[in-house]
Amino acid sequence: MRFDSSFLDELRDRVPISDIIGKRVAWDKRKTNVPKGDWWACCPFHGEKTPSFHCEDRKGRYHCFGCGVSGDHFRFLTELDGLSFPEAVQQVADLAGMAVPAPDPRAAQREKERATLSDVMELATAFFQEKLQAAEGAKARAYLRDRGLSGKTIETFRLGFAPDGRNVLKEFLASKGVEKQQIEACGLVIHGPEIAVSYDRFRDRIMFPILSAREKVIAFGGRAMSSDSPAKYLNSNETELFHKGRVLYNFARARRGAQGAESAGTIIAVEGYMDVIALHQAGVENAVAPLGTALTENQLDLLWRMTPEPVLCFDGDEAGTRAANRAVDLALAGLKPGRSVRFAVLPQGQDPDDLVREDGRAPFDEVVRAARPLADMVWVRETSSGVFDTPEKRAALEASFNRVTQTIGDESVRRHYVQDMRDRLNAYFESSRPAGANQQGGRGRFGGGGGRQGYRQGDPRSAKAGKRYAMTNLLARSTMVRGRSELPALRDSVLAMTLINHPDLLITEFDEVSAIEFDNRQLAILLEQLMEICADGDVPDREAVLQRLHQFGHEETIDSLGRQIRFARVWTATTEAALEDAREGFRQVLSLFKRSRELKQQKIELERDIAEATESGDGDALPQLMRSLQSVQNEYSRLEQQEAIIDGFGVLSGRVRGAAGK
C-alpha cells in the first residue's frame, strides 16, 4: 500500500521521533539535551556500553555512530520491531491521533502529479529570478538595494520579479511544454468559470519563493511595486502543494540556523518576509514568519517541533499588542511540560529590518534577550487595563485569571499556572493596599475612617481643611494607554457624569463644553446629544436629561460611567455634590483634560518633524527636535503623576474628607 507523502510528512512532524525510540531505549542523562530535543542512548541494534546512538527531534532522524544504522520513525519500527511498513505507519498515526487514509488507487498518480507541479514551480522561480536581473527588473532591483539587501542575500532567498503583463509567465511556461491544467493547479494564474481567459496572478511584484520543509518551492509571496495596487502583499492561493496555515516562511533554513552557537537552539517568529531576510543578512539565521496572517495553531506546532521555547517577536504598536494577545491565547492551549513561548516587543515604530539596518544585529539581539515569559504576558495583559482598588474589582481580576488558566490543556502545567497567578495576585494586592489601611479598619485612604490630614468626621477643623481637597490620583493615572480599557479614561467619565448630574453647567459652561472632543466614540455621541437637549437655552431638569439620554440608548453607558466614578471616589461628579463644588471639580478636571490633549498633539507633531528630518538627512534640526520631544514627554509624565487640587471641595455640600467614601 502506498501512502501519500504529505501524510507521512505530517506524521513525522506531529510525533517526535524520541517518543518512538524512547519506548525501546533508556536515554543517557549526561549526554542528552532534552530542551533541544537532542537524545543519546546505547544503540538498540547492536550491543554497546557507551552511548553512540543519537536521534534529533528537529530532523526526525536517528543515527548510530557505532554500527551506522540510520533512518526515520518508520524505518526504526520496521527494522527493530519487524513491523511491515503499513503497520509502522499505523502505529505512528495512532500516536499522532490521525486516521490512516483508506487505500486509494490514485495515490501513486497524485504523487506523480505533485512531483510534476514541483517542477513547474521551479521553472516559475527561475523565470522570476531571471526577470529581476533583466531590464524590466530595474525598479525592483533599486527597491531591494534601498532596503539594504546585498546581491548574495537576493540570491540566497531566490528573490525575483514578476513583470507587469497579464500573460508573461503563462506564455513562458506554455513554451516549456507545461499544460494549462498544471499552471492552474500551481496557483500561478487567475482562472475560473466566469473568467474567459486565465491571466497571471502575480504582476509587477517582487517575488518571494516559499519553500517546504524539504526546501521545494511550493508557493510565492509577491510585494507590489505600484502604490495603487489593492494588495501590498499577495500570496499564492491554496493548492495541492501549499496550505498557508501549515507553512512558515524560511522554515528549513531557520531550522539549520537554530543549531548555530549564537542561536542556541532558539527560533524567532517575526511578522514578514523582509524581516526574515534582513535578519538573515545581519547574521540572525534562525527567524521565520507566518504568511501575512496571524500565527496559526499548526504554525505554532511547527515552531515547537524546532524548539521548546520559541520567541514571538511583535511590533511595539497597537496592532502588535493585539497580535501578541492573540498569540498568548493560542499558546496557552498548547502548553505542555517543558514547552512554552517567550515574547519580544520591538521599540515603538520599528520593525526588525529597521533595527538591524544601521547597527547590525546587536540591538535586535538585545530585544530577544529581554523577551518575556508567557506567564508575564498573561499577567500584564490582565492587569494593565484597570485599577483594582476595591474588593469587587479584585474579585473580578481573580475570576479573569481563573478563566485564562482554565484554557490550558495540560493538567500539570495548568496547576502550576494557577499557583503562579495566585502568588502574583497575593503579592499585588498586598503591595497596592493603601498606606495606613490596617490602622483605619481597612477602609484605606478614601474610607470614612480618616481624611487626608487625619481629621475625624465632625472635627471643626475639617471644615477648614475641606477648603482644599486632593482628588484621588486615579485621575492622574488616566494616561494615553487607558484607551486599551473598555471604559473611557476616568477624566472623560468625570466630565461626562458631572454634566449629566449637574445639567446647569451645560448652560453656564457652554463654550468650554462645546469645545470638548472625546476620543471615546460613545462619549462623543452622548455629549453631542446632551448639547442638543439644551439647544433652546433653557436649563434642563436632571431627570429629563436622563430620560432623553435613555431614549437615545445610553442607559447602559451611563450606568457604567456612574460605577466608574463611584469606585474612584470622585463624588464631585455625583448628584451629592453642590453645584459650585461640581463646577470647580469640572473646571479642574477639564484643565487636565485640555492640557493632556495639547501635549498629545505636540508629541504627534514633533514625531512627524523628527521623521521628516531623519528622511531628509537634516542632522542639525534633530537634536533640538529630540530635546523638545523629551520635554513634552516629561511634562506629560508629571501631569499624569500630579494630584488635581480642587479648592472648596466639600464645604458648600456640607461634606468632609472622611465622608468621601460614601
Could you report the per-residue pLDDT of 455-479, keeping only the tens digit for each?
333 333 333 223 222 332 333 333 3
Collapsed DSSP state (helix, strand, coil) of residue 622: helix
- Rounded to the nearest integer, the mean pLDDT of the chain is 80
| Cell 517575526 found at | 270
- Categorize the per-residue pLDDT at 659 as very low, low, confident or very high, splitting at 50, 70 and 90: very low
190 strand-pairing partners: 199
Grid coordinates in use for 448? 470614612
Confidence tier at 45 by pLDDT (50, 70, 90)? confident
Looking at this protein, which amino acid is placed at residue 219? A
For residue 92, the model assigns a pLDDT of 93
Which has more confidence, 553 or 440? Answer: 553
Tens-place pLDDT, residues 247-268:
999 998 898 887 664 666 789 9
Q: How many CA atoms lie within 13 A of 113 on its CB side?
A: 16
**What is the rounded CA–CA span in Å between residue 36 and residue 570?**
55
389 pLDDT above the threshold of 60? yes
Q: Mean of the pLDDT values across residues 340-352?
A: 87
Please give the Cα distance from 515 to 93 (Å, whole number).
67
DSSP structure string for 504-527: THHHHTHHHHHT---SSHHHHHHH
pLDDT digits (tens, 9 = 90+) for 133-181: 999 999 999 999 999 999 999 999 999 999 998 999 999 999 999 899 9
* Tens-digit pLDDT profile for residues 109-142: 555 566 688 899 999 999 999 999 999 999 999 9
Q: At 519, is the pLDDT very low, low, confident or very high (cuts 50, 70, 90)?
A: confident
Quick: pLDDT tens for 579-599.
Answer: 888 888 888 888 888 888 888
pLDDT score recorded for residue 111: 58
**pLDDT at 113 (0 to 100):** 63
Question: Is a pLDDT exceeding 90 seen at residue 220?
Answer: yes
Q: Report how far apart, in Å, the C-alpha atoms of 592 and of each of 295, 415, 559, 639 are.
A: 41, 45, 24, 8
Q: What is the pLDDT of residue 625?
A: 78
From residue 109, how far is each of 101, 114, 116, 243 by CA, in Å? 16, 9, 11, 20
In contact, 662 and 654? CB cutoff 8 Å: no
Q: Are 121 and 128 in contact (CB under 8 A)?
A: no
Provide the residue type at 59 as one letter: K
Q: For position 450, what pLDDT does the model report?
A: 32
Q: What is the pLDDT of residue 660?
A: 37
Residue entry with cell 503563462: 170
Place of cell 488616566: 478
∠ CA 458-451-468 to the nearest 5 degrees?
95
Q: Residue 50: which of 64, 62, 68 has the closest Cα?
A: 64
Given a cut of 60, whether residue 5 has pLDDT beyond it is yes
The residue count of the chain comes to: 662
Q: Which three cell numbers stand for residue 470?
A: 486632593
CB contact set of 33 (below 8 Å; sequence gap of 6+): none
Residue 107 has pLDDT above 50, yes or no: yes
What confidence tier does 323 reach under pLDDT thresholds 50, 70, 90? confident
pLDDT band (50, 70, 90) for residue 347: confident
Q: Phi and psi of 463, rounded to 5°? A: -65, -45
Cβ atoms of 337 and 128 closer than 8 Å:
no
Q: Residue 655 — very low, low, confident or very high, per pLDDT cuts 50/70/90?
A: very low
Per-residue pLDDT band at 652 (split at 50, 70, 90): very low
Distance CA 496, CA 531 (A): 12
Write down the pTM of the prediction: 0.55
3-state SS string for 110-165:
HHHHHHHHHHHHHHHHHHHHHHHHCHHHHHHHHHHHHCCCCHHHHHHCCCEEECCC
Alpha carbon separation from 362 to 207, 328, 335, 373, 458 (Å, rounded) = 29, 27, 31, 21, 64
pLDDT for position 46: 78
Average pLDDT over residues 364-368: 91
3-class DSSP state for residue 223? strand
Scan for cell 490596617, then name that residue: 438
Q: How far apart are the C-alpha atoms of 596 and 590, rounded to whole Å? A: 10
pLDDT of the residue at 610:
82
Q: How far apart are CA 599 and CA 605, in angstroms?
A: 10
Q: Provide the Cα torsion 352, 353, 359, 364; round to 10°.
A: 10
- Residue 344 phi/psi, 5-degree rounding, is -110, 130
Dist. CA 273–CA 222, nearest whole Å:
10
Q: How far apart are CA 649 and CA 475, in angstroms?
A: 16
> What's the pLDDT at 335?
92
Q: Which three cell numbers stand for residue 417?
A: 499556572
In angstroms, rounded to a whole number, what is the distance separating the alpha carbons of residues 322 and 464?
Answer: 50
Instruction: Report the distance separating Cα 623 and Cα 22, nearest Å.
Output: 62
pLDDT > 50? residue 618: yes
b/e map of 616-628 (b: 16 or more CB within 10 Å)? eeeeeeeeebeeb
**For residues 208 and 234, is the Cβ–Cβ distance under 8 A?**
no
Residues 6 or more apart in contact with residue 423 via CB below 8 angstroms: none
Output the pLDDT for position 454: 33
Q: Are 366 and 348 in contact (CB under 8 A)?
A: no
Which of 374, 392, 337 lies closest to 567 in space, CA to CA? 392
CA-nearest of 359, 408, 304 to 35 is 304
